[in-house]
């Protein structure tokens, strides 16, 4: 074993980790926002909103992420006439894909708020938007925190799949270093260790939040 | 103030309201009683357009509830509603619960809304609880905050859906006192309740519902002393002990 390979390439590897975090953060924010919209759509009593939202969620939940990444990478340039670049097309793929999972989290969170709260909001003259914004979503968000943290951990791991379109995120850079240095064992152990650290932090945070919720 | 004409409502095949006719004049208090599942709560929710209905008409303050020209948000703002389970917003303080709708719907400045809220909290007797969260209040206190929240919109009508049913006995009076005060102050009210003491004191009319129908109505004493309907008699026997 020659662990010196890691300090030697550390800045290159950490650069990939930064990209991984960027990818995860943007996917999380975008996926969550789109997920709220889709989740609300799944709860709509209007068929023309409910069916498209349900179709969206079920569609993306039945596809492997790697396929979605390929799709956006190859299809979007075909539609808009110019290449998007690997980062942007990966971002779009992640947002579209994760939104489907967030939609289900949002739906569950909102359904956990008693229906009487909606009635109370409406009865004072608040609109649907105001009732959601000020009464339902703040309560639902509280219930959604543990599954959202879990989903963050999953997104963080999922970003490694962006290597299939050549994006130089953390895992991709590890394999690039490996092809140069031929130190597979050390490098992939190190990569695993890094993922383990960050995902454990997320998992522990999630468990803490959950137990706090139970006590309340 | 409220006119209900030939109102019928179905949930799927089940008819929950059957040809309801009722008029509530300005300043009147109407008490609705009857066994659970008789359609009392549904009736209230039809009046402020929280539930749709298939037949008949409801006219509130000159506006038909089902008329597409009627703005249902404005309509609801005119009708305060108090629920059995309080339904205070648990993530907001008492004061925030009360000021939310005046700020958002009536566009009141924060200061003005808060001053008004404090006046209302004094009226229901708990100004010192303004900055407490609902979880730290007793049931009776929560329900009084809920009444203040409804009053904050300065509604023309107040509806109460079994406001004391979820309360411990020693807290019922503090809520009823607020309601009696309101009724005597000239508020138009529909109250679903089995508190017959309340009904005796302030009701201008008492209606008894069973299986979606109004089967008996009376003004005050006559209702209790000689109900015409056997169903009413059985029910009153049970709740009057």
Across the interface, whether the CB atoms of A117 and B105 are under 8 A apart is answered no
Q: What is the DSSP string of A137-159?
A: HHHHHHHHHHHHHHHHHHHHHHG
8 Å CB contact between B223 and B216: yes
Of A124, A138, A142, Cβ closest to residue B77: A124
Q: Where is B101: in which H helix or E strand?
A: helix B94-104
Query: What total of structural domains would you count in chain A?
Result: 1
Chain B interface includes A116 (CB < 8 A): yes
Q: Tell me whether strands B205-210 and B213-218 are parallel, antiparallel or unpaired.
A: antiparallel
Residues B203-221 pLDDT 10s: 999 998 988 889 888 886 6
Quote the CA–CA distance of B230 and B239 in Å, as a whole number.
14
Quote the CA–CA distance of A136 and A138 in Å, as a whole number.
6
Q: Which residues contact A5 (CB under 8 A, 6 or more apart)?
A: A177, A181, A183, A186, A187
Q: Which residues contact B196 (CB under 8 A, 6 or more apart)?
A: B33, B224, B236, B239, B240
| Set of chain B residues whose Cβ sits within 8 Å of the Cβ of A142 | 91
Q: Running DSSP on this structure, what letter comes out for residue B52?
A: -
What does the pLDDT read at residue A216? 45
- Between residues B31 and A4, the one the model is more confident about: B31
Across the interface, whether the CB atoms of A125 and B50 are under 8 A apart is answered no
Does pLDDT of A102 surpass 90?
Answer: yes
> What domain range is A199 assigned to?
5-215
Give me the phi and psi of B72, to 5 degrees please.
-70, -20
Chain B interface includes A138 (CB < 8 A): yes
Across the interface, whether the CB atoms of A120 and B87 are under 8 A apart is answered yes
Query: Closest by alpha carbon to B79, among B152, B158, B4?
Result: B158
Question: Sheet harboring B205-210: ordered strands across?
Answer: B79-82, B157-161, B188-192, B29-33, B205-210, B213-218
Give me the phi and psi of B218, to 5 degrees please.
-160, 165
Across the interface, whether the CB atoms of A120 and B48 are under 8 A apart is answered no
DSSP three-state, residue B177: helix
Across the interface, whether the CB atoms of B74 and A125 are under 8 A apart is answered yes
The torsion angle over the Cα atoms of residues A60, A61, A67 and A73, rounded to 10 degrees, is 30
- The percent of residues above 90 in pLDDT, for chain A, comes to 47
- Between residues B238 and B115, the one the model is more confident about: B115
The torsion angle over the Cα atoms of residues B4, B208, B37 and B65, rounded to 10 degrees, is 10
DSSP three-state, residue A31: helix
| Set of chain B residues whose Cβ sits within 8 Å of the Cβ of A126 | 73, 100-101, 104-105
Quote the CA–CA distance of A101 and A42 in Å, as a whole number.
12
Residues B97-143 pLDDT 10s: 999 999 999 999 999 999 999 999 999 999 999 999 999 999 999 99
Residue B33: count other Cβ atoms within 10 Å of its Cβ: 26
| Set of chain B residues whose Cβ sits within 8 Å of the Cβ of A125 | 73-74, 76-78, 101, 105, 153
DSSP three-state, residue B213: strand
DSSP three-state, residue A127: coil
Residue numbers of B between 170 and 229 with CB closer than 8 Å to A:
none
Give me the phi and psi of B205, to 5 degrees please.
-150, 145
Of B50, B78, B100, Cβ closest to residue A134: B100
Number of A/B CB contacts below 8 angstroms equals: 63
Q: What is the mean pLDDT of chain A?
A: 88
Residue A173 burial (CB < 10 Å; 0-12/13-18/19+)?
A: buried
Identify the CATH number of the domain in which residue A194 sits. Answer: 1.10.3720.10
| Set of chain B residues whose Cβ sits within 8 Å of the Cβ of A131 | none
Query: Closest by alpha carbon to A109, among A134, A139, A131, A135?
Result: A139
| Set of chain A residues whose Cβ sits within 8 Å of the Cβ of B76 | 122-125
Residues B149-164 pLDDT 10s: 999 999 999 999 999 9
Give me the phi and psi of B153, to 5 degrees please.
-85, 5
What would the two tokens of residue B81 be?
Answer: 């509603």
Across the interface, whether the CB atoms of A123 and B89 are under 8 A apart is answered no
Cα angle A66, A70, A75; round to 5:
150
Residues A148-180 pLDDT 10s: 888 998 998 888 888 888 888 888 899 899 888
């Amino acid at each position: 074993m020659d662990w010196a390979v890691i300090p030697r390439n550390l800045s290159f590897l950490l650069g990939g980790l930064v990209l991984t975090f960027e990818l995860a953060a943007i996917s999380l924010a975008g996926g969550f926002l789109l997920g709220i919209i889709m989740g609300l759509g799944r709860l709509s009593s209007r068929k023309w909103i409910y069916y498209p939202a349900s179709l969206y969620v079920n569609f993306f939940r039945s596809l492997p992420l790697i396929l979605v990444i390929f799709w956006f990478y190859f299809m979007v340039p075909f539609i808009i006439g110019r290449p998007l670049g690997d980062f942007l097309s990966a971002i779009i793929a992640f947002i579209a894909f994760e939104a489907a999972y967030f939609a289900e989290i949002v739906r569950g969170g909102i359904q956990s708020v008693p229906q009487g709260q909606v009635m109370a909001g409406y009865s004072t003259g608040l609109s649907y938007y105001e009732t959601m914004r000020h009464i339902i979503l703040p309560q639902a968000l509280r219930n959604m925190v543990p599954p959202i943290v879990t989903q963050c951990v999953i997104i963080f791991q999922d970003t490694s799949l962006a290597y299939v379109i050549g994006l130089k995120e953390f895992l991709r850079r590890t394999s690039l270093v490996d092809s140069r240095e031929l130190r597979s064992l050390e490098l992939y152990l190190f990569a695993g260790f890094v993922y383990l650290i960050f995902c454990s932090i997320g998992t522990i945070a999630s468990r803490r939040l959950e137990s706090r919720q139970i006590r309340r | 103030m409220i006119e209900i004409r030939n109102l019928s409502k179905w949930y799927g095949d089940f008819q929950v309201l059957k040809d309801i006719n009722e008029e509530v004049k300005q300043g009147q208090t109407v008490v609705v009683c009857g066994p659970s599942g008789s359609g009392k709560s549904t009736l209230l929710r039809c009046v402020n357009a929280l539930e749709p209905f298939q037949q008949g008409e409801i006219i509130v303050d000159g506006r038909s509830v089902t008329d597409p020209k009627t703005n249902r948000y404005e309509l609801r703002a005119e009708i305060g509603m108090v629920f059995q389970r309080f339904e205070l917003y648990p993530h907001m303080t008492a004061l925030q619960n009360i000021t939310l709708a005046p700020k958002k719907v009536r566009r009141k400045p924060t200061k003005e809304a808060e001053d008004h809220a404090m006046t209302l909290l004094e009226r229901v007797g708990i100004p010192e609880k303004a900055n407490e969260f609902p979880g730290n209040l007793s049931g009776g206190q929560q329900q009084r905050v809920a009444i203040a929240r409804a009053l904050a919109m300065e509604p023309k009508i107040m509806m109460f859906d079994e406001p004391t049913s979820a309360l411990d006995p020693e807290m019922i009076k503090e809520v009823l006192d607020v309601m009696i005060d309101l009724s005597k102050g000239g508020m138009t009210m529909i109250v679903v309740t089995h508190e017959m003491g309340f009904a005796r004191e302030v009701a201008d009319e008492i209606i008894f519902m069973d299986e979606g129908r109004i089967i008996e109505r009376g003004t005050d004493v006559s209702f209790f002393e000689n109900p015409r309907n056997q169903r009413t008699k059985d029910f009153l026997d049970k709740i009057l002990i």
